[in-house]
Amino acid sequence: MRKPLILVTNDDGVMAPGIRALVEVADKLGDAVVVAPDKPQSGMGHAITINATLRVNKMGKQNGTHFYSTSGTPVDCVKLAVHEILKRTPDLIVSGVNHGSNASTNVIYSGTMSATIEGCMEGFPAIGFSLVNESIDADFEASKVYAEQIMKVVLQNGLQKGVCLNVNIPNLSTREIEGIKVCRQADAKWSEKFDKRKDPGGKPYYWLTGAFENQDTGEDTDIHALQHNYVSVVPVQYDLTAYNSLKNLEKIDFNAG
Amino acid sequence: MRKPLILVTNDDGVMAPGIRALVEVADKLGDAVVVAPDKPQSGMGHAITINATLRVNKMGKQNGTHFYSTSGTPVDCVKLAVHEILKRTPDLIVSGVNHGSNASTNVIYSGTMSATIEGCMEGFPAIGFSLVNESIDADFEASKVYAEQIMKVVLQNGLQKGVCLNVNIPNLSTREIEGIKVCRQADAKWSEKFDKRKDPGGKPYYWLTGAFENQDTGEDTDIHALQHNYVSVVPVQYDLTAYNSLKNLEKIDFNAG
């Protein structure tokens, strides 16, 4: 039997330690091919490159895994991989391991999750992994253990059409982690503050800063799971239709406006 | 009574004709303030600027409306407007009118809709408008008529918490448009092709191209509405949880992987 083909990408760039952790696991479970941005692309959301050209750099083979970097965004990487680089269709697309949480509404801003969602839109099983630790020397040991478990299950069972997974791993050792919890996305948000400064010429400029604030007290959320030492798994869909409010809106006579 | 404050933004940049159409309507219904990117930002998705500084340029007043441009993405513009530029909280955030459709899964890639979703995440009623015509000299007359109707209704009734609107307007005259339809997002997708070329030095580079293909035959979709000469209104949510598959996933024993 042919080994499953696993595409690995991320948004921290091809040189990030997090992607190496994921490659290690992918290599164990199948044939891994890496197609990742040549530079960090955090916070790129679902950006694509339409008014500029894209470059693909074949970096060579490491421990049996082909590495490619591209000048594009995480979403560009998935498109390039699927349509230009891979010799056959992937059995699984994994993104990460991101250096930092993508729980709750971070999913919206995350390049890691946008690559995952793009994979899902292209019709492939796709999983995004993030570790709740932003530092460059984060410990990915527990991430590897849980990534392997979850990837195995998805390779065996597939995923529902139109659904991918957002997996977040608490910053703990494998022994300290309680297990895996399937959750909904917490309704938390960034409370932004701009740090206003003056340049040497006296003109103002801004840095975006802020704190993540959770006012969602539900016990079924990803943030709750992470706070209680669980790995959170949120099924994510790219259908953004608010079905609950379709009926309400249909009652409104827009033509009376 | 104080006039409602309406924030206007877009992703085609502050100089695009489409935003002028929306400003005209916003000015009629309230006090309009424009905070928009200083250059086109199409396809930026929900990108934010976290590793670079942001500039805000006060462009001055035109017909009573204050215009600001920023060096950021559409999402940055909303954050800067709400937290730094506006003197009071907005009663409505509108984005567009985009030069080109944002129906179906285009909502995921769209800077116009990302600004709208950001406004929604910040807790304000928010609407994105797009005209199914990409050209710079598109006719926005019908867009103005329908934007006014929909904005009036939303100013009066508000929107459900966590929900914003994705409005697409067919490229027709006001007389030819049949009315407004509330829809779900069609499950269509881009079928990508990369145009591979060689640079003067002989090295390959790529342009992302492709065709939008709809295999969703539902009659309740935004694409169906647009094809039948209706303005489509899709309620959009930023909770990406695939609630339908929560139960299925909970049955899977991830620890058995």
Q: Which residue of B lies nearest to A250 if distances are taken between CA atoms?
A: B182
* Secondary structure (3-state) at A6: strand
pLDDT, tens digit, for every residue of B152-206? 999 999 999 999 999 999 999 999 999 999 999 999 988 888 999 999 999 999 9
Domains of chain B: 5-240 (3.40.1210.10)
DSSP A238: S
Q: How far apart are CA B70 and CA B81, in angstroms?
A: 10
**Tokens of residue B27, six digits:** 């000015």
Q: Which among A249, A250, A252 is the top mutation candidate for probing chain B, defined by the most B β-carbons within 10 Å of its own β-carbon? A: A249
Q: Is it the case that residue B257 has pLDDT exceeding 60?
A: no
B46 Cα to chain A: minimum distance (Å): 4
Q: Which of A65-74, A152-161, A243-252, B2-11 has the lowest mean pLDDT?
A: A243-252
Q: Which of B34-48, B109-123, B222-236 has the lowest mean pLDDT?
A: B34-48
pLDDT, tens digit, for every residue of A178-193? 999 999 999 998 888 8
Residues of A in contact with B197 (CB under 8 A): 53
Nearest to B242 among A157, A163, A250 (CB): A163
Residue-wise burial string across B78-112, b where 16 or more C-beta atoms lie within 10 A, e elsewhere: bbbbbbbbbeeebbbbbbbbbbbbbbbbbbbbbbb
Q: Which residue of A lies nearest to B157 if distances are taken between CA atoms?
A: A252
Chain-chain contact of B205 with A240 (C-beta, under 8 angstroms): no
AA letter at B78? V
B257 Cα to chain A: minimum distance (Å): 4
Q: What is the pLDDT of residue B190?
A: 86
Chain-chain contact of B194 with A45 (C-beta, under 8 angstroms): no
Q: What is the ipTM of this complex?
A: 0.92
Q: How far apart are CA B129 and CA B131, in angstroms?
A: 7
Nearest to A50 among B42, B180, B233 (CB): B42
* Secondary structure (3-state) at A180: strand
Chain-chain contact of A45 with B45 (C-beta, under 8 angstroms): yes
Q: Is it the case that residue B59 has pLDDT exceeding 90?
A: yes
Residues of A in contact with B75 (CB under 8 A): 45, 109
Confidence of residue A116 (pLDDT cuts 50, 70, 90): very high
* Secondary structure (3-state) at A200: coil
Averaged over A110-137, what is the pLDDT? 95
Q: Is the pTM of this model over 0.90?
A: yes
Nearest to A245 among B163, B196, B204 (CB): B163
Nearest to A233 among B46, B205, B254 (CB): B254
Mean pLDDT of chain A: 94
How many residue pairs from chains A and B have C-beta atoms closer than 8 A?
Answer: 238
A99 near A18, Cβ under 8 Å? yes
Confidence of residue B256 (pLDDT cuts 50, 70, 90): low
